[in-house]
Amino acid sequence: MTLIAAGAVVTSCGVHRPGWVETSAGRIIDVGAGAPPRAPDHGYADAIVVPGFVDIHVHGGGGASYTEPSADEIARAAAFHRRHGTTTTLASLVTAGPAELLTQVRALTAAARAGVIAGIHLEGPWLSAARCGAHDAGRLRDPDPVEIDALLDAADGTIRMVTVAPELPSGISAIRHLVAAGVVVAVGHTDGSYDQTRAALEAGATVGTHVFNAMRPLHHRDPGPAMALLEDPRATVELIADGVHVHDALLRHVVESAGPDRVALITDAMAAAGLPDGSFRLGALDVEVRDAIARVRGQSTIAGSTATMDRVFRAAVPNSASDAQLLAAAAMTATTPARAVGLSRVGSLAPGLAADLVVLGTDLDVVAVMADGELVVSLASAPGVATP
């Protein structure tokens, strides 16, 4: 058993100041407020313990990409983000040809079976050419039930989420097909109307892929997909809180109006995350990173991000780290995304759930990370740390 004590512990019920978490065999067995029941194995007097981050939309990081069908490459990307607090990852794939996509899915399925990732997110290829963003427009296609079934069969239950543009000729039927197969469907990379997005929600879609980005913009006579997603209480909306994709004022407005229980903060990170500016690849496209902003080479189109989930968490706690802010940030970086894609054993600090947590210092920087009960990051020299 391992007992962790800290200046604050953020649970779904409230913030314990001070608090403690006890784990055993990869699970949380108890969480409490006040002094711990015995001498802690790890003490973080000046730190905050939050649930391990759940990133449901990420393409890579640390120079590695989930689009590469290599076990080492996949593990390297996951390990990079784990050092930044992401203990649960849905690996996102961009648009590719049928054979290449199948190969990528098989590689990620093996990684999911090995526990490296929690599942797969197909962001393409069933997207709008008009709103393709950093996807290869030449490889976009209408959903084909034969291809869908081939991918689902190859994934053997590891495809958890698929992004679809509902205005495609077979868009709504594909949404119904995927939902019937137990897959979460997200509306995104869409030039669809408000009504078409409403039809997608009625067909079973429950997530909005990086809302506002790569979709028809909101207009007072043409509210578009963002409005349909934001006003529907069944929908969870992804936001890329990197200070680039969405203005901070809009981020605050969405959180205040929709509530933290409906907002999933994501990185949408690509291989460039954690590296200096330079040239990279995202699927079939060349990407240039300048001033930490990734763009398709020769275009103004943003190509994913260079963010990590600890940075995203800090964006959600802009001021004094009040209890209300910490509760909201923990919900949006862990509880809400986990619930959105049906991951029931992660996302909060509660008995019976996976022992996944992040210890954040006074500047909300990562001090320690525990995944499945194992400390995978531990900075023993950090202020307020006492480890017997």
Binding residues for substrate are 134, 213-214, 221, 245, 302-304
Best CA proximity match to 338, nearest among 89, 9, 14 = 89
Which residue numbers belong to the known binding site?
123, 134, 189, 210, 213-214, 221, 245, 302-304
Distances (CA, A) of 329 to 88, 103, 252, 262: 16, 36, 12, 12
Residue 268 known to be catalytic? yes
Indicate if the alpha-carbon torsion angle 185, 189, 194, 195 is positive or negative: negative
Which residue numbers belong to the known binding site for Zn(2+)?
123, 189, 210
List Cβ neighbours of 149 (8 Å cut-off, separation of 6 or more): none
How far is 209 from 4, CA to CA, in rounded Å? 36
How far is 187 from 129, CA to CA, in rounded Å? 14
From 55, 191, 242, 268, the catalytic residue? 268
Peptide bond into 125 cis (omega under 30): yes
Exposed e or buried b for every residue in 220-253, given b needs 16+ CB within 10 A?
Answer: eeebbbbbbbbebeebbbbbbbbbbbbeeeebee
How far is 113 from 155, CA to CA, in rounded Å? 10
How far is 376 from 75, CA to CA, in rounded Å? 14
Catalytic center residues: 268
